[in-house]
Amino acid sequence: MAASKKAVLGPLVGAVDQGTSSTRFLLLVSATRGKPL
């Protein structure tokens, strides 16, 4: 039987970027030091 593998991302941080013509939601993994997921 194969062992199950799970990805552990750790704590997540969300940020909203509101521009003049669009709104974006960024999801970041705190362990990546600011690199978008």
Parse the chain into domains and list their residue ranges.
Answer: 10-37
* Predicted TM-score (pTM) above 0.85: no
Q: Which CA distances in Å does 17 have to 4, 7, 25, 31? A: 37, 27, 6, 21
Q: Which residues contact 20 (CB under 8 A, 6 or more apart)?
A: none
d(CA 17, CA 8): 26
Q: What was the pLDDT predicted at 28?
A: 80
d(CA 26, CA 6): 23
Mean pLDDT for back-to-back runs of 10 residues, the chain (37 residues)? 66 90 88 58
Q: What was the pLDDT predicted at 30?
A: 72
